[in-house]
Amino acid sequence: MDEPPMKKLEELPGEDVAQPGAAQGTVDSKHSPCRVIIRTRVTNINGPPEDRAYNLGQIFCSHVLNRQLRVAPDGDDENCEQPVDAVHFLPLCDSPQPVHAWFMYDLNFDRRQRAPQDLAQIPHEVYLCSLIDGRWIFTRRRIWSDEARKRSASHQWGGPSKAKSHIAMK
């Protein structure tokens, strides 16, 4: 089933269109932890299907936060003092069909503090991502944040070890 056509950006009331290099909302590119959830069409993301989550994270971080996606070096997961970004691998992100899927990132994850009760205190931001004429557009959807917080609570802050190991090989 096809999704309804996207409204023009100026027709989206109460939403923020992320400008290149300017972080929106509570995402702090240097220090503050934040869970970012992005919905986009999977076939818009270049690269092999198994790399889509990593590639979209790179695009988001470079476009919105003006920095690279920071992943833990392989074998250095627990010893590194610096916060890293964790990538979650959610259903449909590797689909060969042009479907929309959710992608989730835990930004500025401090591996020394992994208590599940901390997740309730961490800001959650949701973006609708579009690729229009070769240009990535990230539109923050504040209205989805509370629901995203509830639905993503079952995902461990910092992601499962398996996901971090896969990304560390990049």
* Dihedral (Cα; 139, 99, 149, 158), 10-degree rounding: -100
Locus of tokens 């800001």: 123
State residue 40's pLDDT score: 97
**pLDDT, the chain, mean:** 78
What gap in Å lies between CA 119 and CA 155, rounded to an integer?
10
User: Where on the phi/psi map is residue 58: left (φ > 0), alpha (ψ -120 to 50), or beta?
Assistant: alpha
State residue 57's pLDDT score: 97
Cα angle value 145/124/69 (rounded, 5°):
130
Indicate the SS3 state at residue 58.
helix
- Contacting residues for 34 by C-beta, under 8 A, at least 6 apart: 26, 27, 28, 106, 107, 108, 122, 123, 124, 125
**Which has the closest alpha carbon to 149: 127, 129, 122, 110?**
122
111-150 per-position pLDDT tens digit: 766 555 567 788 999 999 999 999 999 999 998 888 888 8
- In this prediction, what percent of the chain has a pLDDT beyond 90? 46
Neighbours of 150 (CB within 10 A): 10
The predicted model scores a pTM of 0.76
